Amino acid sequence: MTPTPALRPWIADVTLLRPDSALPLVHLPDAATALVYRRTGAGDGAGNGDLRVIGPRGRASYFPGKDLPLCIRIRLRPGAARPVFGVPVSELRDQAVPLADLWGTRAAHLEDRLNDLAGPGPVLRGIEDALLESLHGTTDSRDQLLRRAAESLSTTGERVGALARRLAVSERHLRDLFTDRIGLSPKHFARVQRVRTVLARAGSAEWAGLALDSGYYDQSHMTADFHTLMGVSPAAFRAGRLPAGTLCAG
């Protein structure tokens, strides 16, 4: 799904999910915070639904599958979650929090409006209106600094110290900014981004070349880091040999 142009600087992607009870749910490591609307009523028309904030995840988690007739996930770009939800993003790390816990009655009213809508398109437009209201007038100099730092760590593998010097800030300032607005330290952010690069290309590249292209020292370094964050080796994950799922609350 495509976000409205006004929100593209703030939204990484919008996905219409089709969870299936026959398939395990795999929550990948993710430096992004997401807003998820899920409906539990029959069909994709009006029904019971709720909004949850899914904080950044430092490691993968695995759950039994479930059926949801409508599920929309909006992943926010680095820095967007802090002004939208009004709390340090570190407080959301590895959490699935009802939006009502952060927005109060505003979230309850939004859920009521969304539950009266039929189909994913109108629901997405309703959520976007609420996000635009939260983001109005919130841009400051830290957003640009954070985006530059996040892009460099995602694409170049630059060391955090060297990055801080290049951006003319202290490592502590950069660490505090990442913790507050992304929820992960710069080093852990970089680890998550490298593993996600491996996941995106695992089916079309040799392991040794993929390790170097993704910013690892060598294949063994990639395998060890992948196992730490994913719970299995790259080869096992590609083959579908996943860790046992745990029950998902809610």
Task: Share the mean pLDDT of the chain.
Answer: 89
Distance of alpha carbon 139 from alpha carbon 31, whole angstroms:
20
93-68-243-35 Cα dihedral, nearest 10 degrees: -20
Cβ–Cβ < 8 Å for 232, 242:
yes
Distance of alpha carbon 53 from alpha carbon 12, whole angstroms:
15
Structure tokens at 163: 């990055």
Does the pLDDT at position 45 exceed 60?
no
pTM, rounded to two decimals: 0.88
DSSP state of 2: -
Distance of alpha carbon 8 from alpha carbon 4, whole angstroms:
7
Task: For the chain, give every domain's residue range.
Answer: 5-135, 141-238
What confidence tens digit (pLDDT) does each residue in 161-179 have?
Answer: 999 999 999 999 999 999 9
The stretch 134-153 carries a mean pLDDT of 84
Name the class of domain 141-238: mainly alpha
Under DSSP, is residue 158 helix (H, G, I), strand (E, B) or coil?
coil
Distance of alpha carbon 11 from alpha carbon 4, whole angstroms:
9
pLDDT at position 190 is 94
Higher pLDDT, 220 or 144: 220
Does the pLDDT at position 21 exceed 70?
no
What's the N-to-C CA distance of the chain in angstroms? Answer: 25
The stretch 59-70 carries a mean pLDDT of 86
What confidence tens digit (pLDDT) does each residue in 222-241 have?
Answer: 999 999 999 999 999 988 89
Strand runs labelled E in 90-137: 96-98
Does the pLDDT at position 142 exceed 60?
yes
pLDDT at position 25 is 82
What confidence tens digit (pLDDT) does each residue in 68-99 have?
Answer: 888 999 999 988 999 999 999 999 999 999 99
